[in-house]
Amino acid sequence: MKKVAQISLSFLSMIILTHEIVSDEISVGLKFQQSINMYNENGITVEYAPKNLLNDQLSFGASYISTRFGSAFNSNAIIQDNIVLHSTYLFSSSSLAPLIRLNTGYCFADYESSLFDEIDASMPLLSLETGARFAFDVPLIVQAGIGYNLITSDGSSGIGTVYPLFVQCSLMWSFSL
Amino acid sequence: MKYFILIAAIFFIGCAGEPNITDGDLDGNVLFDPSLYSPEQFLISKSKPNPTDQEKQQPVIIVAHGYTATTFEWNEFKRYADSTNPGILVSQVLLGGHGRTYQDFKNSSWRDWQASIIDEYQQLVKAGYRNISFAGSSTGGPLIVNLFAQSLFANSIKPKHVFLIDPIIVPANKSLSMIGIFGPMLGYIESGEMTDEERKHWYKFRPQETLQELLDICTITRKDLESGIRFPDSTSVSIYKSLYDDVVDRVSTVMLYNGIETKTPNMKKVSLPKSGIHVITRLEGRANVTEQDRVLQKKVFDEMIQDLKSKP
């Protein structure tokens, strides 16, 4: 948790610092993620795009997605919460733009029994993602991508349900600040 | 990072050809599982097809091995049970497609693997056996759990106990989840280092088609567990999972424990020994076995036998 707090603080400082220089855009929305051959995790995402930073093509964001709102809803799937910070680079300023993204964060699992106390219940996340963003005329943004988790469990450490490949889609409403 | 290297290697190598199988490998046309020649030495339905009234009440345990393995995997348990508890009958099934040739294995599906378990159970029921249990190691685990999900026992003799030894639901190596994408380019995957004994009893080469079947049965069972699999009121389950096993991920145990519903909570047991051995009940043929491994193996055997004898 300490690591997550440190990352969050650095990220927040960066946003505040940037905000003093330019006027910006913030997008808030829902994120839907499906790991290939594993869980479905959904949640919320927020993205901050500082004006004029790399031609408006670089943004920073944070997401919380969980199986609580996906596979584990009303089922025996393992409850896992992911807190992820991400930086996104758009390859164009047009309404349809390809993107790359770096995600980093932490995953926490709840095995719901003390029998499994010896199994790791948290692990760091680091993934690369590529996809595309489409901005409608109304301030609605759709982002979709395919990602690859660089850190996964080896069976004896970490959380075994963090799988390498995933696809995600985000629907966001944007506001000018 | 290792997956990136694997993916890069796949692209450079392109489509793999046929594996180089030697006569010393089970995969070839020379070595076969002995149960194919002498089924009566392995299957109770063949060795005792007409049980007496007393034998019908004896505990019979159908033991199923894992992916690429053979009846050899449960030999030690059978010998142990025979020598210490002659009242317990051990029936060693050979999964379909296993113990034969690479091509037979390549052409088999997980339903073929499971068919041997169903067939032996039905033969035993038909013969009049009433006290039947199951044990599955590694892939034998989901193959057995799936029988409950498909309600095989709804109108038949209910199993007494189910023992799951290092059962796989989630593999330790997560690249299996991408076999559908990269499998056709790979063709097959060669097993890691094997002893001479293991080469006689395990397939060395894993056709990508069978890895996809393995992924299928794992995924199907995981989803069934997420919905909940209700065991009959008289059936109990014991799960043994090595903590440092490099084949099966530890979360498999969590999924099984949370997903199997027994009549009472104490009919569901889980044990997580601090061992690095995959399938802790099989030590024969391994390169390095410690005294601690032997102690653990005996402990598991004793607990299984105690459970088998605990109910009429």
**B229-252 average pLDDT score:** 96
Residue type, A123: M
The pLDDT assigned to B203 comes to: 96
Q: Is any Cβ of chain A less than 8 angstroms from the Cβ of B178?
A: yes
The pLDDT assigned to B82 comes to: 95
Give residue A14's pLDDT band: very low, low, confident or very high (50, 70, 90): low
**B27-43 average pLDDT score:** 94
Give residue A13's pLDDT band: very low, low, confident or very high (50, 70, 90): low
pLDDT at residue B196 is higher than 80:
yes
- Residue among A36, A76, A153 minimizing CB distance to B258: A76
pLDDT at residue B180 is higher than 60:
yes
Contacts of B258 in chain A (CB under 8 A): 76, 78, 111-113
Mean pLDDT of chain B: 93
**B188-199 average pLDDT score:** 92
Contacts of A35 in chain B (CB under 8 A): 177
pLDDT at residue A1 is higher than 60:
no
pLDDT at residue B15 is higher than 60:
no
Q: Is B23 exposed, middle or buried (0-12, 13-18, 19+ CB in 10 A)?
A: exposed
Percentage of chain B modeled with pLDDT above 90: 88
pLDDT at residue B9 is higher than 60:
no
Work out the minimum CA distance from B2 to partner chain A, whole angstroms: 9
**B48-54 average pLDDT score:** 96
Q: What is the pLDDT of residues A128-141, one digit of tens each?
A: 999 999 999 889 99
pLDDT higher at B42 or B6: B42
The ipTM, to two decimals, is 0.88
The pLDDT assigned to A93 comes to: 86
**B229-245 average pLDDT score:** 96
**B168-186 average pLDDT score:** 94
Contacts of B248 in chain A (CB under 8 A): 155
pLDDT at residue B11 is higher than 90:
no
Mean pLDDT of chain A: 88
Which has the closest alpha carbon to B129: B121, B138, B118? B121
- Cβ contact, residue pair A154, B248, below 8 Å: no
- DSSP-assigned letters across all residues of A78-136: PEEEEEEEEEEEES-SSSEEEEEEEEEEEEEEE-SSGGGTTS--EEEEEEEEEEEEEE-
Q: Is any Cβ of chain B less than 8 angstroms from the Cβ of A64?
A: no
**B293-302 average pLDDT score:** 97
Termini Cα distance of chain B? 53
The pLDDT assigned to B85 comes to: 86
Rounded to the nearest 10 degrees, the angle between the axes of helix B208-227 and helix B179-186 is: 170
Work out the minimum CA distance from A170 to partner chain B, whole angstroms: 24
Q: Is any Cβ of chain A less than 8 angstroms from the Cβ of B186?
A: no
pLDDT higher at B13 or A146: A146
| Rounded Cα–Cα distance for residues B112 and B119 (Å) | 11
User: What 8-state DSSP symbol labels residue B148?
Assistant: H
Contacts of B178 in chain A (CB under 8 A): 36, 164-165
**A97-124 average pLDDT score:** 96
- Cβ contact, residue pair A71, B270, below 8 Å: no
The pLDDT assigned to A23 comes to: 64
- DSSP-assigned letters across all residues of B91-126: EEEPPTT-SS-HHHHHT--HHHHHHHHHHHHHHHHH
Q: Is any Cβ of chain A less than 8 angstroms from the Cβ of B172?
A: yes
**B2-17 average pLDDT score:** 50
What three-state secondary structure class fits A152?
coil
User: Could you tell me which residues come within 8 angstroms of residue A41 by beta carbon, excluding any fewer than 6 positions away?
Assistant: A33, A34, A35, A65, A66, A67, A69, A70, A71, A80, A82
Tell me the residues of chain A between 137 and 176 that have a Cβ less than 8 Å away from chain B.
148, 150, 152-156, 159-161, 163-165
pLDDT at residue A5 is higher than 90:
no
**A23-50 average pLDDT score:** 94
Least confident residue range of B74-83, B122-131, B175-184, B234-243: B175-184
Top residue of A75, A76, A153 to mutate, by most chain B CBs within 10 Å, is: A76
Q: Is any Cβ of chain A less than 8 angstroms from the Cβ of B182?
A: no
Nearest-Cα residue of chain A relative to residue B276: A156
The pLDDT assigned to B24 comes to: 86
Work out the minimum CA distance from A114 to partner chain B, whole angstroms: 11
Give residue A56's pLDDT band: very low, low, confident or very high (50, 70, 90): confident
pLDDT at residue B21 is higher than 70:
yes
The pLDDT assigned to A57 comes to: 87
Least confident residue range of B134-143, B185-194, B300-309: B185-194
Q: Is any Cβ of chain A less than 8 angstroms from the Cβ of B174?
A: yes
